Structure 1
Amino acid sequence: MTNATNSTRQTILDTAQLIVSRKGFSAVGLNEILQAADVPKGSFYHYFHSKDAFGVVLLDTYFDQYLKGMEQLFQQPGLPWAARLMRYWHTWIDNQTGCTDAGKCLAVKLGAEVSDLSEPMRLSLQRGTTRTIALLAEALQHGIQDGSLAVQQHPESLARRLYALWLGTSVMSKITRTSAPFDEALLLTRQLLGCPEPADATPTETIDRGTGK
C-alpha cells in the first residue's frame, strides 16, 4: 500500500470514528463519511470491500490506538500502580463526559448496536475488549506486587469485573445525562482495589487514539 493510499485510508477511518462516535454505525451512510473526509464517493471500495468490512477495520484500528494510549498512561514513571489505575478511570470519565466526540469509546457506543447485526464486528469488539481487559489485569498484578493495591480477587477476574462495571456505567451516564454513575463507579472501584483515597489525586490525561484528541 502506497503512502498516499494509506493516508487516504486513514483519513477515512479518522473521519468515520468522529461521526460514528456521535451517531452510531447503522445511522451513518458511506456518503456522509466520504464527504466529510473529502474523498471521492467512488473510491470507498478501493480501500474496503464492504461497509461491514470497513466497520471491522474501524474497530480494530480504534482498539490498536486505544491500547497504545493505555500503555503510555500506565508507563508514567514515579507513580505507584494504584495511582496509574485510578488515573485511567479518571481519563475514562474525561473522555466520556467531554464536550467533543473525539474521545468517545467505540466499545460503549457500538457494543450493543452492532453485536446483533454483524458477526465480524462483534468478533472485533470481542478481540479489542479482551486485549483491554488483559492489559488491565497486567496493571492490577503490578499493583499487587508494588503493594499499592490490596485486592482479594485474581487480577484477570477483577479486570473483567471492572471493565464491565465501567462499560455499564458509561451507558447509565448516557441514560441519566449526569455524572452520578461515574461517581458511584469510582467509589466501588476504590473499594474493589483496596485503593487509598490519595491514589486518584493525580491530574488526568486524555488517552490519544490518533484522531487529534
Structure 2
Amino acid sequence: MSTAPATDNTDVRDRILATGQRIMGGKGFSAVGLNEVLTAAGVPKGSFYHYFGSKDAFGEALLEDYFATYLADMDRIFRQTGQTGAQRLDAYFQAWRDNQSFEDCQGKCLAVKLGAEVADLSGSMRASLKRGTAAIIEQMAHAITAGVDDGSLSPDDPADSVAQSLYQLWLGASLMVKIVRHTQPFDDAARTTARILHPSR
C-alpha cells in the first residue's frame, strides 16, 4: 500500500499552518478569516476541517508549530561549539532582534503579535502560549547556567529567575519596537541584559 496520501496530508496541513503563521503574524488572529488563509494556501475549505475542528483549534496548532520551530532554533544557537555561554546568549538576542521586526516579521514574531490578543479570546490558545513561553524560559535558563559554569556570566540571581526577567524584558521591548517603529527599545534591552548577566568579556 502506498504511503503517498499520508505524505500529501502532512504537506497540506503544513502548508495551511505556514500560510496562517505568515498572514496572522502580520494582521493578527481575529482580523484574518479562514478563507483568506485557505485561498493563499491554495487549499479548499473542506480540507481545513479535515485537519482542524475550528479556528481556535487551528490557532492552537499554529502556536504549537511556531514554538516547536522557535525552540529548535534556540537549541541550534545554544549548541554552537567554540563559544562561551555569554557569546551564545548574545547570538540568541541578536536573532531575536533580527526576527522581531517592526516592518515584516514573516510570522517569526507570532507570540509577540498574538500574545495579548488570543490570551483573552481562547483558553486553549492561552495554554499553548503559556507552555511555549515556559519552554523558552527554561531553555534560556539552561544557557545562563552554562555561562555561569564556564565563567563567562555572573548574574546576581538564580538562572531561572534571570531567564524569566530577561524574557519579559525582551518581550516588552518587542512590543515597544512595534509602537515606536525603531529599534531603540532593543538597544535599551541589550544594555539592561548586560547589567543583569555581568558578562566577563
TM-score normalised per structure 2 = 0.95
Q: Equivalent residue of 2:43, what SS?
A: coil
Tell me the residue number matched to 1:160. Answer: 164
Where do 5+ consecutive residues of structure 1 fail to align? 199-213
Answering whether residue 68 of structure 2 is matched by residue 64 of structure 1, we say yes
The one-letter code matched in structure 2 to 1:3 is T
Partner in structure 2 of residue 186 of structure 1? 190
**1:176 shift after superposition:** 0.7
Residue identity matched to 2:81: P
Unpaired stretches in structure 2, ≥5 consecutive residues? none
1:105 shift after superposition: 1.7
Moved more, 35-44 or 135-144: 35-44
Q: Find runs of 4+ consecutive structure 1 residues off by over 4 angstroms.
A: none
TM value normalised by structure 1: 0.89
Aligned residues: 197
Deviations 1:168-207 (A, max 9, x none): 00001111111110110000001100024x5xxxxxxxxx
Alignment-mate amino acid for residue 89 of structure 1 = F
What's 1:125 paired with? Answer: 129
Partner Cα separation in structure 2 for residue 193 and residue 87 of structure 1 = 14
Deviation at 1:42, TM superposition (A): 2.2
Q: Conserved in 1, the CA contact under 8 Å of 2:147 and 2:153?
A: yes
Of 7, 10, 14, the residue aligned with 1:6 is 10
1:53 aligns with 2:63: no
Aligned partner (choices 137, 143, 164) of residue 139 of structure 1: 143
Q: Would you say 1:89 and 2:88 are equivalent positions? A: no
Question: Is the CA contact (8 Å cut-off) linking 2:102 and 2:177 kept in structure 1?
Answer: no
TM-aligned CA deviation for residue 91 of structure 1: 0.8
**In 2: Cα distance, 1:109 partner to 1:55 partner:** 13
Higher RCO (CA < 8 A, seq sep 6+): 1
Counterpart residue identity of residue 192, structure 1: I
Distance 1:151 1:164 in 2: 16
Match of 1:206 in 2: none
CA contact (8 A) 1:96 1:103 kept: no
What's the offset of the Cα at 1:22? 0.2
Q: Is the 8 A contact 2:38 2:44 kept in 1?
A: yes
Q: CA deviation at 1:107?
A: 1.3
Q: What is the match of residue 47 of structure 2?
A: 43
Aligned-CA RMSD value: 1.3
User: Following the alignment from structure 1 to structure 2, what is the Cα–Cα distance between the partners of residues 175 and 99?
Assistant: 11
Secondary structure of the structure 2 residue equivalent to 1:97: coil
Q: Distance in 1 between matches of 2:140 and 2:185?
A: 21
Counterpart Cα distance in 1 of 2:149 and 2:50: 50
